[in-house]
Amino acid sequence: MKNKKQLSNMSISVICSELATIIKAGIPITDGMFIICEDETDKLKKRILTEMIENIEKGGTVYSAFEATKVFPSYFLEMISVGEKTGKLDTVLESMAAYYSQLDEISSSVKSAVIYPSVLLITVFAVVILMAVYVLPIFSDVFAQMGLTMSDTASAVITIGRAISNYAVYILAGLALLIIFGVLLYSLVPPVKKFVNTLASHTKIAKSLYCARFASSLSMTLSSGMDIDSAMEMSEKFIENQAIRQRITKCRQEMESGVPFSEAIVKTKLFPPLYAKMINIGFSTGTLDKVMKSVAEKTEAKVEAVINTTVSRFEPTMIIIMAVTVGFILLSVMLPLLGIMAVIN
């Protein structure tokens, strides 16, 4: 049986939050799921909870109930298993709710950072094309009536505009096919997907995001009752970035050779020096889970600030480019006209 499409980060966060509240209130988990189902309007979520109730009533564990739905990621299932075995399921669910909520916020920020500049870029091209197709031909007719020729720049723009106007259907169809081909290539060809993801994962923002994910994962595993070695092993599995995984592996090797965790973190440069000092204090005082949570929050806030700054810089840049481009095209037409009008006067 093939795995179903996994739930979104926000859906997982909501389910975890509701179940954590139920467990903390002392309500049996199946009764709590019934209560949620009664008022639930989302058909998918209602079906998932119904399947889970049936699984648990047949003698299954909470972990097996989650696993049977085939819609939750493997890392999530491993954390549920740890929480159930250690008797800290409510704590794990709360941590997972916060974690997936943060992932959703970061994902939304990244999408905004990509979509907004793309819209601005398309707007710039649209303005230039509209001028080339509809505005400049009017000036061309005026020049022709006066027995004059337009500048080379304006003539080139008009030629391009006419070509776009004549072959617009073919151009749009070609772009659509190119986009569809690219999406299919990324989705269906693993080497292509791996190559694209590798390129993306080497950016500074991506590395910071993976470090935040590692810190958050470590915080959850430690707070659920796992020891540092087991927590490191599980957290490593969750990191897709090869460079960060290599650092985590090296950190574990250092720990296996007798180096304390706090020193291994510094040696492998998993986190900046300031965070390494915080981790050292947390390790010494037995509050490493809380420190790692703080590190994750600070790193995520830093990433979000970088994304917002990048977008805020891109907006005026695109507006300037559009203004300069449109102004240059208009001046190439208007200056000769103004010169002719001055001579006539």
pLDDT digits over 311-333, tens only?
777 777 777 877 787 777 667 66
pLDDT band for position 344 (cuts 50, 70, 90): low
Measured in residues, the chain has a length of 345
Mean of the per-residue pLDDT values of the chain: 79
Exposed, middle or buried: residue 258 (CB in 10 Å: 0-12, 13-18, 19+)?
A: exposed
Mean pLDDT on 52-78: 88
Residues of the chain above pLDDT 70, percent:
86
Query: Is 288 in a helix, a strand, or coil?
Result: helix
Name residue, tokens 């950016």.
Answer: 203
Task: Return the pLDDT at 333.
Answer: 65
Amino acid at 285: T
Task: Return the pLDDT at 5.
Answer: 64
Task: Name, in order, each residue with C-beta under 8 angstroms of 113's C-beta and a sequence gap of 6 or more.
Answer: 307, 310, 311
Mean pLDDT on 230-258: 82
- Whether residue 1 is predicted with pLDDT greater than 70 in this model: the reply is no
Residue 30 tokens read as 């199946």
Cα angle: 186, vertex 189, 192; to 5 degrees: 60
Q: What is the rounded CA–CA span in Å between residue 36 and residue 18?
A: 8
Task: Return the pLDDT at 202.
Answer: 67
pLDDT digits over 141-176, tens only?
777 777 666 667 767 777 776 777 677 678 778 888
Task: Name, in order, each residue with C-beta under 8 angstroms of 67's C-beta and a sequence gap of 6 or more.
Answer: 77
Residues of the chain above pLDDT 90, percent:
2
Domain spans in the chain, listed from the N-terminal domain onward: 9-72, 102-345
On whether the CB atoms of residues 283 and 264 are closer than 8 A, the answer is no
Which residue would you say has higher pLDDT here, 1 or 272?
272
Residue 218 tokens read as 């470590």
Q: What is the rounded CA–CA span in Å between residue 33 and residue 173?
A: 49
Cα angle: 94, vertex 99, 101; to 5 degrees: 95
pLDDT band for position 341 (cuts 50, 70, 90): low
Average the pLDDT over each of 57-71, 120-134, 324-338 and give the range with the smallest value: 324-338
Q: Determine the topology of domain 102-345 in CATH.
A: Receptor-associated Protein (1.20.81)
Q: What is the rounded CA–CA span in Å between residue 339 and residue 241?
A: 61
Which residue would you say has higher pLDDT here, 256 or 216?
256
Task: Return the pLDDT at 2.
Answer: 45
Mean pLDDT on 280-299: 84
